[in-house]
Amino acid sequence: MPKKNILIAGLGLIGGSLARAIKSGHPDYHVSAYNRSQAPRDFAIQERLVDEVSDNFADLAVKADVIILNFPVQLSIKFLDFLSELSLKKNVLISDSGSTKFEIVTAAEEIFKGKAVRFIGGHPMAGSHKTGVIASSELLFENAYYILTPSRLSKAADFDELKNLLARTRAKFVELSAEEHDAMTAVTSHFPHVVAASLVDNTHDFAAIMPFTENLAAGGFRDMTRIAESSPDMWSEILMSNSEHIVHQIDRFNEKLNAVKRLISQKQSAEIWAFFDKARQLRSQMPIHKGAMENFYDLFISVPDKSGVIYEVLGYFAGHDLSIINIKINETRVELNGVLQLTFKTENDQATAERLIQEHSNYDVYK
């Protein structure tokens, strides 16, 4: 059986990570990469992510058995138009990694109607605060959901083929219709970005009246608005590509805010308590998915602001072979306690660490 020729179009964080995973899982496949800029191409060759690079998309595309587009949705659609003009291999399989699916699936069905081309929409739901191919990792997608969306150009066997190609990503593949994908991601991703940006904008506006306001924006505000620092280019396009579902969520949210507003205005303390309690319970029951760190166990330790306190706490664990995934300091201020956050691989390690801290110190420990 001849080895396959795989084209990764776009060598950013996602494209580079896909290239690594495919090459690792299928070392006999020929993996090529298109990228307009020279530096990512050079890096990909030097690090042996791929076997071939070029800034000539057409030259690579006509040789490919599988093409994965890693661009914003509108740009990917332009590449689909361009592909339709080329003499592609018969039954070439095309996919993408964009954040919305209905628009590109619909475009692909129209562009390739009557052609020997297969198309499956893709969305690996993973990312990093780092960017570019230099930050790419084979482990980026591990345990993350990888959404695959069918089209009139795809069959069940095509999904098996694509999953096999991407097996080394160790992602959790989920098949959804394009409509389902866009509706769900509007709720869990796209609309929350609108809320986060609005909170920042609202606080900034209020600070024009009371300038010290922004100094009081502490942990809760920080956590709720972290995603407001995301790329405006990317998020403006996502909102335009999924506008109907996002507008629907804004309308629903306004209804909920108005309901809470009425409770506050009417001093309905019991109902307000029930509102928060319901949200607390629902949040605790949600299977919040965290990609490669899906199953993890946190401890929060109130520690004094003094030199060596992290080493002190970690010293309590000596000889106990605990697996610590992450260490983070929250809310540290001079002469006040901060919060040391330790993330453990297993629940047993978390329990052992909690016991050891309580045995060796008077620090308050929370889960």
Q: Where do the domains of the chain lie, and which CATH numbers do they carry?
A: 5-176 (3.40.50.720), 181-285 (1.10.3660.10), 295-366 (3.30.70.260)
Determine the average pLDDT of the residues in 89-104.
97
If pLDDT is split at 50, 70 and 90, which confidence band does 292 have?
Answer: very low
> 92-96 and 117-124: which strand pairing?
parallel
Phi, psi of 185 (to 5 degrees): -70, -25
**CA pair distance 203, 270, nearest whole angstrom:** 28
**CA pair distance 190, 72, nearest whole angstrom:** 15
**CA pair distance 314, 303, nearest whole angstrom:** 12
Q: What is the pLDDT of residues 139-150, one digit of tens each?
A: 889 888 999 999
Q: For residue 6, give the 3-state DSSP assignment.
A: strand
Q: What is the pLDDT of residues 255-267, one digit of tens each?
A: 999 999 999 999 9
Q: What is the pLDDT of residues 51-71, one digit of tens each?
A: 999 999 999 999 999 999 999
* Residue with tokens 């040391």, as numbered in its chain: 340
**CA pair distance 209, 206, nearest whole angstrom:** 5
Under DSSP, the state recorded for 90 is: T
For every residue of 96-158, which 3-state class applies, written as one string? Answer: ECCCCCHHHHHHHHHHCCCCCEEEEEEEECCCCCCCCHHHCCCCCCCCCEEEEECCCCCCHHH
* pLDDT score, position 325: 80
* pLDDT score, position 261: 97
Q: Which positions ≥6 away from 32 have C-beta within 8 Å?
A: 5, 6, 7, 8, 50, 51, 52, 53, 54, 60, 63, 64
* pLDDT score, position 333: 47
And the tokens for 95? Answer: 């996919």
